[in-house]
Amino acid sequence: MRTKLFFFILLVTYMGHAQQDAQFTQYMYNTININPAYAGSRGVLSIFALHRDQWVGLDGAPKTNTISINTPINNSNIGLGVSLVNDKIGPTNENQFSVDLSYTIPTSETWKLSFGIKGTADIFNLDITKLNPENQGDPQFQNLDNDFSPNIGAGIYWHSDKAYIGLSVPNFIQTNRYDDNDVAIYKDKINYYLMGGYIFDFSQEVKFKPAVLTKMVEGAPLQVDVSANFLFFEKLTLGVAYRWDAAVSAMAGFQITDGLYIGYGYDNETTNLRNYNSGSHEIFLRYEFFKNNSKMTTPRFF
């Protein structure tokens, strides 16, 4: 019973703060997971992989792994992306495979407007035995094995080399994950994302980019992530972030080669959960393929 109560508290807390979709501190590098219009916007073939270990030391805490590939299609206005997200929390294990398609039109000499759609196949597993129920045969406690549900999402992304604004809904379909006597115990609700960022050139050596991500979902508090990153000599990135009423974060990244970038983030919880864990860690790698040994004309933060 104590294990079931702990998982319930953990799940409610996670849903309240992360708002059900997998949570990332370095969202500015992982936009494809929440906005399909981002596909191909970097102008090169981009491969991204991230691991997040949340609330380290807390039994059953979330662990997230994601890998994605996105690219423009030849010289057209079409972008294509595929991604896989694995999200584990307590007795649940969820895999989301998504395909993203975008179309971009220029709105001025420097700005472009992209429209995107996302198709997702979701496989959800619940191992009820990890909750240690007193009565293993209780029909109210049943496993969910490879519970499949499709979904569809959309987004818009207005961007230049200096700034971006995005609005997206990754999943339009609300899914009842686990029903007991026709009452949904766990629901995947619709999440709405609004994001933006701008790059300020302090000098040739130093650039500054503030960014904000707002998440909205029915039944949960409004979540706002605010970040500030500094880029030094087009190589080293250092930054801080604040997740409203949830966590403060430190971020660092380094451009190892023209194509390879590595980043790390650390979250320090500001809620009562800080008494039960040693923070959250996030590390990612991004590799990009440039044609004809060309480079991006500007250092892209996003």
Predicted confidence (pLDDT) per residue in 35-78, tens digit: 999 999 999 999 999 999 999 988 888 999 999 999 999 889 99
pLDDT confidence bin for 5, thresholds 50/70/90: very low
What's phi and psi for 29, nearest 5 deg?
A: -100, -5
Alpha carbon 275 to its chain centroid, in Å, reads 25
pLDDT of 24 strictly over 50? yes
Per-residue pLDDT, averaged over 268-281, amounts to 89
pLDDT of 194 strictly over 70? yes
Please enumerate in sequence order all residues whose Cβ is within 8 A of that of 261, keeping only pairs 6 or more positions apart, or say none.
253, 254, 255, 285, 286, 287, 288
Closest of 237, 246, 288 to residue 264, by C-alpha: 237
pTM of the shown model: 0.85
Instruction: Name which residue leads in pLDDT, 5 or 244.
Output: 244
pLDDT confidence bin for 297, thresholds 50/70/90: very low
SS3 content of the chain, % helix, strand, coil (to 5): 10, 55, 35
Helix (H) or strand (E) holding 178: strand 175-180
Is residue 282 within 8 Å of 253, Cβ to Cβ?
Answer: no
pLDDT tens track for 98-120: 999 999 999 999 999 999 999 99
- DSSP reduced 3-state for 213: strand
pLDDT confidence bin for 9, thresholds 50/70/90: very low
Instruction: Name which residue leads in pLDDT, 24 or 11.
Output: 24
**What sign does the dihedral 12-18-19-22 (CA atoms) show?**
negative
pLDDT confidence bin for 178, thresholds 50/70/90: low
pLDDT of 266 strictly over 90? yes
Per-residue pLDDT, averaged over 160-184, amounts to 79
Give me the pLDDT at residue 249, please.
Answer: 97
Is residue 178 within 8 Å of 185, Cβ to Cβ?
Answer: yes
pLDDT of 159 strictly over 50? yes
pLDDT of 8 strictly over 70? no
Closest of 264, 213, 175, 282 to residue 31, by C-alpha: 213
pLDDT of 265 strictly over 50? yes
pLDDT of 12 strictly over 80? no
What's phi and psi for 6, nearest 5 deg?
A: -60, -45
| Rounded CA separation 94/117 (Å) | 21
| Rounded CA separation 287/226 (Å) | 26
Closest of 162, 188, 164 to residue 174, by C-alpha: 188
**172, exposed or middle or buried, with CB in 10 Å at 0-12, 13-18, 19+?**
exposed
pLDDT of 210 strictly over 80? yes
- Highest mean pLDDT among 102-116, 132-146, 215-229, 279-293 belongs to 102-116
Domains of the chain (ranges; CATH) run 36-126+148-173+191-289 (2.40.160.40)
| Rounded CA separation 194/200 (Å) | 21
| Rounded CA separation 272/62 (Å) | 17
Give me the pLDDT at residue 14, please.
Answer: 47
198-218: burial string, b at 16+ Cβ within 10 Å, e else: ebeeeeeeebebebebbbbbe
* DSSP H helices in the chain: 2-18
Give me the pLDDT at residue 143, please.
Answer: 66
Average of per-residue pLDDT values in the chain: 85
